[in-house]
């Protein structure tokens, strides 16, 4: 037990050193977690070279501006979240560099160009919050397994196989449950059915 507690103490010290801008802490993170961070970034950006750029930029940013670690108890959780956000940010900047609008702007543009999407309605009687706020509120009403399925499908947080393994289900059940989770989410986001209690599989 003492080794677990020592490891966690040492991780806490490393986080504290990182937040003070200690380059030794950044180097230690690179040496100990660099390979995992690059592997993790690859999940979201695909190519190894791009994943390395994402992680390198993150380290370089930490050297210039030490990150805030308030509320972060676990080093691995901090690293996972940091790399995830860096990867998402990289994708956003990459879209901008290619002249593509940000994803949220896409919705409005598509509405104007083609047809009104039923999940991004606005107008009299509609709540003023944006799609993301409504989505978060809808997700809060779903079960943990429904959310995981949706995070896999829409957020690429896990691969389908990893999600199946976590939920201990086979491919057929995965697709059936994913379909049902999407239906439940669609109903929650649908303006006509705001009051529906979704339930969900647990």
Q: In whole angstroms, what separates CA 10 from the centre of its chain?
A: 27
Under rule CB under 8 A, how many of the chain's residues touch other proteins? 68
Contact with other proteins (CB under 8 A) among 27, 47, 96, 173? 27
Dihedral over Cα of 200, 144, 180, 108: its sign:
positive
Minimum CB separation of residue 3 from other proteins in Å reads: 19
| Beta carbon nearer to other proteins, 6 or 49 | 49
Of 36, 20, 124, 31, give the one whose Cα is nearest residue 77: 36
> What is the per-residue DSSP string for 26-59?
HHHHHHHHHHHHHHHHHHHH-SHHHHHHHHHHHH
Judged by CB under 8 A, the chain residues 107 through 166 that form the site for other proteins are 107, 110, 117-120, 131-132, 135-136, 139, 147-148, 150-151, 154-155, 157-158, 162, 166
User: CB burial class (10 A; 0-12, 13-18, 19+) of residue 137?
Assistant: middle
CB 95 within 8 A of CB 102: yes
CA distances from 95 to 89, 101, 136 (A): 10, 7, 24
| Beta carbon nearer to other proteins, 96 or 183 | 183
Minimum CB separation of residue 168 from other proteins in Å reads: 14
* H or E stretch at 163: helix 160-167
| Beta carbon nearer to other proteins, 19 or 137 | 137
| Beta carbon nearer to other proteins, 2 or 67 | 67
Of 73, 29, 37, give the one whose Cα is nearest residue 55: 37
Q: Which residues bind other proteins (CB under 8 A)?
A: 23-24, 26-27, 30-31, 34-36, 38-40, 42-43, 48-49, 51-52, 55-56, 59-60, 63, 74, 76-77, 79-81, 83-84, 88, 92, 103-104, 106-107, 110, 117-120, 131-132, 135-136, 139, 147-148, 150-151, 154-155, 157-158, 162, 166, 179, 182-183, 185-187, 189-190, 192-193, 196
């Amino acid at each position: 037990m003492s080794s677990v507690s020592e490891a966690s103490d040492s991780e806490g010290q490393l986080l504290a050193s990182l937040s003070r801008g200690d380059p030794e802490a950044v180097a230690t993170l690179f040496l100990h977690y660099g390979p995992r961070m690059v592997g993790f970034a690859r999940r979201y950006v695909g190519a190894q070279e791009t994943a390395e750029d994402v992680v390198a930029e993150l380290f370089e940013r930490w050297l210039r501006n030490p990150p805030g670690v308030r509320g972060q108890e676990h080093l691995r959780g901090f690293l996972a979240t940091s790399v995830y956000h860096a990867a998402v940010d990289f994708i956003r900047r990459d879209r901008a560099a290619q002249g593509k609008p940000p994803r949220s702007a896409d919705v409005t543009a598509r509405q104007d160009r083609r047809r009104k999407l039923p999940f991004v309605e606005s107008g009299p009687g509609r709540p003023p919050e944006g799609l993301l706020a409504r989505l978060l509120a809808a997700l809060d009403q779903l079960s943990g397994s429904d959310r995981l399925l949706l995070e896999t499908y829409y957020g690429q947080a896990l691969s389908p196989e990893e999600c199946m393994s976590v939920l201990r289900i086979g491919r057929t059940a995965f697709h059936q449950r994913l379909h049902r989770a999407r239906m439940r989410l669609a109903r929650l986001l649908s303006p006509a059915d705001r009051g529906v209690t979704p339930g969900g599989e647990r």
